[in-house]
């Protein structure tokens, strides 16, 4: 089995015809200028050592070296072994509040960015566990379903912000229900939810959502972000700079406060734990260490192929070609010049 580990670098091959066309255009213009300057026979007198053929050869060597370098960068690999590996782990749904109040900066750099940083750190630690993300404000949305593709998970996580969900609010109950429905119950894996929110102005029937999660043996961990004393909600420009603060209809600055009581009720009602977010610690890392004690369950098999790199088959020739090109010149070979004179061959 053969594959390229980084096939995206092969897109550079599309520029090869462009380079050829550019070289042809330059050589054509150069030839036209010489023809305007002097007749063909006079050119061989004025430029006795110039070789058009060697210029083309030199370009060909550089072009071939570029092709080999692009292929080497794509990292060609050859499969050496195929086997089925059992996948075991737990299922984790992160529920992330992306409402405007999460832009408050009582936790640096902001409540939302602090949560995203912790989630990203968790993704880097996962080994076989499946993770999904539900974002919510006035309504919930599955940012990505349960997956073991951690690179894709990080990509979708980075895109989560206040613009992800158009309706503002804090619909925690709806987000719990959506995550509850999004779990795969065909596998008997242990299931966990982790909620990042300031808990303020929660909507919907929380008790029903908690009861439904508990019925499915889902523990809910909650992480409260923010200050109970209240801080203003910044208004950000496209560059992420604060240009003002959110105000009510009377022109008063709105303060957003952490509502710990609701988050404690969610955690205790489902058998989970509540933690308050802080600048100097990673709460999700502490929760994951707690989850590491949960029994890992097999949820499928994955065909794995061991691959060996073969990029050096192209890298070494590319380096040799560049070394050769470095010592090449566009001057005619003395031997060729002598033979041409001897046999009276016209030189171009």
Q: What is the pLDDT of residues 207-258, one digit of tens each?
A: 899 999 999 999 999 999 988 888 888 877 777 777 778 787 778 887 888 8
The pLDDT of residue 280: 80
Render pLDDT for 292-329 as a digit per residue (tens, 0 to 9): 776 666 666 666 567 888 999 999 999 999 999 888 87
CA torsion sign for 22, 28, 29, 30 is: positive
User: Which pTM value belongs to this model?
Assistant: 0.61
Long-range Cβ contact pairs of 314-319 (< 8 A, separation 24 or more): 314/68, 314/69, 314/71, 314/72, 314/76, 315/68, 315/69, 315/72, 317/65, 317/68, 318/65, 318/66, 318/68, 318/69, 318/72
Same domain, 109 and 212: yes
User: Per the domain annotation, does 81 fall within a domain?
Assistant: no
Same domain, 139 and 234: yes
User: Is a pLDDT exceeding 80 seen at residue 39?
Assistant: no
The pLDDT of residue 24: 92
Same domain, 35 and 173: no
Same domain, 124 and 224: yes
Averaged pLDDT score across all residues of the chain: 83
The pLDDT of residue 171: 85
The pLDDT of residue 333: 59
Render pLDDT for 1-24 as a digit per residue (tens, 0 to 9): 788 888 889 999 999 999 999 999
The pLDDT of residue 213: 93
Same domain, 24 and 62: yes
Same domain, 138 and 282: yes
Check if the beta carbon of residue 205 is closer than 8 Å to that of residue 72: no
CA distance 16 to 22: 10
Check if the beta carbon of residue 303 is closer than 8 Å to that of residue 84: yes
Over range 54-62, report the average pLDDT: 89
pLDDT category of residue 348 using cuts at 50, 70 and 90: very low
Same domain, 92 and 21: no
| 3-state SS class at 133 | strand
Q: CA distances (Å), 1 to each of 81, 225, 306, 313, in order?
A: 9, 49, 10, 17
Query: What is the domain extent for residue 11?
Result: 2-75+311-343
Over range 160-188, report the average pLDDT: 85
User: Per the domain annotation, does 348 fall within a domain?
Assistant: no
Domain count, the chain: 2
The pLDDT of residue 233: 80
Over range 63-67, report the average pLDDT: 95
| 3-state SS class at 51 | coil
The pLDDT of residue 244: 78
Strands (E), the chain: 2-4, 76-89, 91-97, 130-136, 140-147, 191-197, 218-224, 231-232, 234-236, 242-245, 255-256, 274-276, 297-309
Same domain, 217 and 139: yes
Check if the beta carbon of residue 233 is closer than 8 Å to that of residue 246: yes
- CATH of residue 263's domain is 3.40.50.410
CA distance 76 to 170: 49
What percent of the chain has pLDDT above 90?
39
User: Is a pLDDT exceeding 60 seen at residue 335?
Assistant: no
Render pLDDT for 23-34 as a digit per residue (tens, 0 to 9): 999 988 887 877
- Comparing C-alpha atoms, which of 85, 66, 73, 101 is closest to residue 8? 73
User: Per the domain annotation, does 263 fall within a domain?
Assistant: yes
Same domain, 90 and 47: no
Residue 91, strand partner residues: 130, 191
């Amino acid at each position: 089995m053969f594959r390229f580990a980084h096939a995206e670098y092969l897109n550079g091959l599309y520029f090869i015809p462009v380079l050829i066309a550019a070289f042809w255009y330059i050589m054509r213009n150069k030839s036209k200028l010489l023809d305007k300057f002097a007749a063909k026979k006079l050119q061989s007198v004025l430029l006795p050592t110039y070789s058009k053929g060697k210029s083309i050869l030199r370009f060909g060597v550089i072009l071939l070296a570029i092709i080999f370098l692009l292929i080497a960068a794509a990292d060609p690999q050859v499969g050496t072994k195929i086997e089925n590996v059992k996948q075991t782990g737990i299922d984790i749904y992160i529920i992330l509040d992306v409402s405007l109040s999460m832009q408050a900066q009582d936790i640096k750099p902001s409540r939302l960015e602090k949560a995203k940083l912790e989630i990203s750190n968790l993704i880097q630690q996962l080994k076989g566990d499946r993770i999904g993300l539900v974002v919510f404000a006035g309504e919930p949305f599955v940012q990505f379903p349960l997956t073991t593709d951690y690179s894709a998970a990080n990509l979708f996580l980075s895109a989560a912000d206040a613009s992800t969900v158009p309706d503002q609010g804090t619909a925690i109950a709806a987000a719990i229900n959506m995550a509850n429905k999004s779990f795969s119950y065909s596998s008997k894996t242990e299931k966990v939810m982790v909620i990042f929110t300031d808990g303020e102005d929660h909507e919907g029937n929380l008790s029903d959502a908690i009861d439904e999660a508990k019925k499915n043996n889902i523990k809910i961990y909650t992480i409260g972000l923010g200050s109970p004393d209240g801080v203003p909600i910044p208004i950000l420009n496209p560059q992420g700079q604060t240009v003002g603060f959110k105000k009510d209809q009377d022109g008063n600055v709105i303060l957003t406060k952490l509502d710990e009581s609701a988050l404690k009720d969610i955690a205790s009602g489902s058998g989970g734990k509540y933690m308050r977010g802080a600048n100097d610690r990673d709460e999700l890392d502490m929760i994951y260490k707690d989850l590491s004690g949960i029994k890992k369950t097999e949820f499928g098999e994955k065909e794995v192929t061991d691959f060996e790199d073969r990029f050096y088959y192209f890298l070494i020739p590319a380096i040799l070609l560049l070394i050769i090109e470095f010592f090449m010149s566009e001057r005619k070979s003395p031997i060729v010049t002598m033979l041409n004179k001897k046999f009276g061959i016209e030189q171009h």
